[in-house]
Structure 1
Amino acid sequence: MNKEKLEVLNTAKEYMINLNNAIVKSAEYLQSGDYFNGTNLIISITDGLEWIVQLVILRKDIYGENMKVNNLIDNVKEIIEAFENEDYILIGDLLQYEISPIVEEYYNKTLLLLKNKNKNNE
């Protein structure tokens, strides 16, 4: 794996950690009724999810074809619909039970790719 791909994976790893932390925090806020703080995180979360989708789509040379981008996009559409209906509990549930596991899956795939890269260099 070349240096550029390694940098992409390391950046993605750090980004996904921060994104998932924001997702979990937003879900906690929303589920506890703190809609102000919960919704304040939504913009940065959607920006982060867009970044991940673009990464996985544009860097198929790294991630392959098997990543569940459509699942993530469908869940984001559900969040938008719930937001329009002011259903903040549903948004929290979608973040916690649908979006966060997908981001964790992408994170685990990134770690596996980095681990395999390090094995190949030994």
Structure 2
Amino acid sequence: MSDRLELLETTREYLLNFNKCLLQVSEELRGGKEKKGLEMIPDITQGLEWIVVVIKDIKCIDVSNSDLEKLNSILREIVEALETQDNILVGDLFEYELIPIINNIENRINNIITN
């Protein structure tokens, strides 16, 4: 298996788990378990950093600058919501804004792997 294909498959698996984590944090933030959800935010941040690095390193993943700008915009909204302690909004942003972007990246990776 080529190094590129192995990295793509590892990234795909990571994205699946990452989405599950995002959904879990979202549910905890909106379901009265804010402390537990907030404790997971640093892991989410590290995960996003890794995803961005991989996207930039694997040139074959067609992620446009506008996609990255949208991601940055959502991340700014998340930071603002965290600063104002609006945990419900943070949960909503994770589930309804961030997860679809991650799904889009995952779909692009799936297309590369299967072609």
TM-score for the superposition, normalised by structure 1: 0.87
Unaligned runs of 5+ in 1: 117-122
Which of 57, 60, 63 is the matching residue for 2:61? Answer: 63
Partner residue of 1:75?
Answer: 74
Using the TM superposition, give the Cα deviation of residue 80 of structure 1 relative to its aligned residue in structure 2, in angstroms. Answer: 1.0
Any conservation in 2 of the 1:83–1:91 contact (CA below 8 Å)? yes
Runs of 4 or more, structure 1, over 4 Å off, are none
Alpha-carbon offset, residue 58 of structure 1: 2.5
- Percent identity over the alignment is 35
Q: Is the 8 A contact 2:62 2:108 kept in 1?
A: no
Deviates more, 1:88-97 or 1:34-43: 34-43
How many equivalent residue pairs? 114
Q: Considering only aligned residues, what root-mean-square deviation do their CA atoms show, in Å? A: 1.4
Corresponding residue of 1:110: 109
TM-score by length of 2: 0.92
Counterpart contact for 1:56–1:69, Cα < 8 Å: no
Aligned to 1:39: 38
> Any stretches of 5+ residues in structure 2 without a counterpart?
none
